[in-house]
Copies of this chain bind each other. A is one copy, B any other.
Amino acid sequence: MASGTAPSDRPRPVGRGPKVRAAVLLATLAELYEAGYAEFSIDNVAQRAGVNKTTVYRRWKDRPTLVVDAVTDQIAIEMPIPDTGAIEGDLRELALSLIKTLTSPIGRALASIMLAAAHVPEIAEVKHRFFDDRIRHAEPIVLRAIQRGDLPADTEPAELIKALIAPIYLRLLITSEALDQTVADQATRIALAAAHAGALTRRTRPRDRN
């Protein structure tokens, strides 16, 4: 190997635009898996991606911005929005893919960010935006079901998605129970029963946060 100061030991250029972005986000995930959020270093990310640190900082102003971008990208890939033709199947698929994600390395990285969020205001803010975005992303499932006449017309999509994911996060973060298919089945039945009982309408929606 060349010495540390030799030009050949510098990060190799990975090109511009989308290629750089992809390389840095991939390196971010690798760094998260191995180091966790607490030990996460942009220096290491730059080295893994083969780019200069300044290249990273030009696109992502800080650690939380970079991490959330990488995790959001990956979750979007791992959690496509199902379209089975029936609301029950769609919700079950969505619950199952959330469970698969939360129990995978990327899920553990996400959990590590959520834990950090309690102390760092800027992470709390990106965390809020992240979940807002994820919930909105799943809303078409509910809108399609309303159009088919399978759900009450005044069902609030975001409230139904939250009713579906709440039992899953309770088991992950509070009661430490196994996350498996029966959890997905139960979450689906709870969300559907609540929607049909009219508990998830605009009228019953809790007010926005303060």
B111 close to A177 (CB less than 8 A): no
**In the complex, what distance in Å separates the CA atom of A196 from the CA atom of B197?**
10
**In the complex, what distance in Å separates the CA atom of A162 from the CA atom of B199?**
17
Query: Residue A149 at the B interface, CB < 8 A?
Result: no
A199 close to B193 (CB less than 8 A): yes
Stretch in contact with the other chain, from A4-12, A76-84, A202-210: A202-210
A-B contact pairs, 9 of them (CB 8 A): A127-B176, A163-B167, A165-B174, A166-B169, A177-B209, A178-B209, A182-B206, A189-B204, A190-B199
Query: Residue A185 at the B interface, CB < 8 A?
Result: yes
A206 close to B193 (CB less than 8 A): no
Interface centre among A114, A132, A169, A200 (most CB of B within 10 A): A169
Chain B residue nearest to A199 in the complex (CB): B189
B194 close to A207 (CB less than 8 A): no
Query: Residue A131 at the B interface, CB < 8 A?
Result: yes
Interface centre among A114, A169, A194 (most CB of B within 10 A): A194
Query: Residue A186 at the B interface, CB < 8 A?
Result: yes
B193 close to A175 (CB less than 8 A): no
A 107-126 binary contact with B (CB < 8 Å = 1; else 0): 00001101100100000100
B189 close to A194 (CB less than 8 A): yes
Query: Residue A173 at the B interface, CB < 8 A?
Result: yes
Q: Which residues of B sit under 8 angstroms from A112, Cβ to Cβ?
A: 118
A162-B167, A162-B170, A166-B169 known, 9 other contacts, Cβ within 8 Å: A115-B118, A169-B170, A170-B170, A171-B206, A180-B206, A186-B200, A189-B197, A189-B199, A189-B204
